Amino acid sequence: MTTGPVSLHSTCDLCDAHRQSDGSDGFRVLPPGFHSYGGVQAFGGQVRTVRCFEDNTQVKAAVESPGHGCVLVVDGGASLRRALVGGNLAASAARNGWAGIVVNGCVRDVAELAAAQVGIRALGLVPMPTERRGEGQAGVAVLVQGVWVRPGDWLYADADGIVVSERAL
């Protein structure tokens, strides 16, 4: 895992440099639809993953552990009914050195998210919290809006979008 901040390049520049892909799945772009909610607008780092549905037990466990400049990618099944990250978890992520969180689902506490020094992207906002049932999986490949993201991949996000690569760029 990475041990510090990642040098960021614009996602547009990364796409320009990698548009002549060899057809492998090494460089991917997440589709539009993710909104920025965190206090950091551009971020990047090595990926750690969580798959959960309307239960953020594994998300909480992840952000309460050292992030080492990584990006947590949460596949919440694109649920728009429950928020998987709120102000408390965003503050934990910032305090524990996470570069960012990308949620295939919703977040809440928009003012607290904006104050947290961590990048946060999600599909939307909803005020309803999750129920913690102890479900979910960490460290597994996740499918985010039709794009595979794997632990150990590298993710870069800025105002133009989100890209994922199997290697550091």
| 50-76 residue pLDDT tens | 999 999 999 999 999 999 999 999 999
Region of residue 84 (phi > 0: left; psi between -120 and 50: alpha; otherwise: beta)? alpha
Q: What is the pLDDT of residue 116?
A: 98
pLDDT at 2 over 50: no
Q: Is the pLDDT of residue 5 over 60?
A: no
Among left, alpha and beta (phi > 0; psi -120 to 50; other), residue 159 is alpha
In this structure, the strands spanning 35-36 and 137-138 are unpaired
For range 81-109, the mean pLDDT? 98
Q: What is the mean pLDDT of residues 24-37?
A: 90
Place of tokens 């547009």: 12
- pLDDT score for 18: 85
What pLDDT score does 60 carry?
Answer: 98
Looking at residue 19, its pLDDT comes to: 73
CB-based contacts of 138, cutoff 8 Å, min separation 6: 48, 49, 50, 51, 58, 61, 62
Give the integer Cα–Cα distance in Å for 26 and 20. 12
Calculate the average pLDDT of the chain.
93
For the beta carbon of residue 133, count every other beta carbon within 10 angstroms. Answer: 11
Q: Is the pLDDT of residue 22 over 60?
A: no
How many alpha carbons fall within 13 Å on the CB side of residue 163?
A: 24
Q: Environment class of residue 105 by beta-carbon count within 10 Å: exposed (0-12), middle (13-18) or buried (19+)? A: buried
Q: What is the mean pLDDT of residues 78-87?
A: 98
User: pLDDT by residue (tens digit) across 141-152?
Assistant: 999 999 999 999
Q: For residues 14 and 154, give the distance between their C-alpha atoms in angstroms, rounded to a whole number.
A: 12
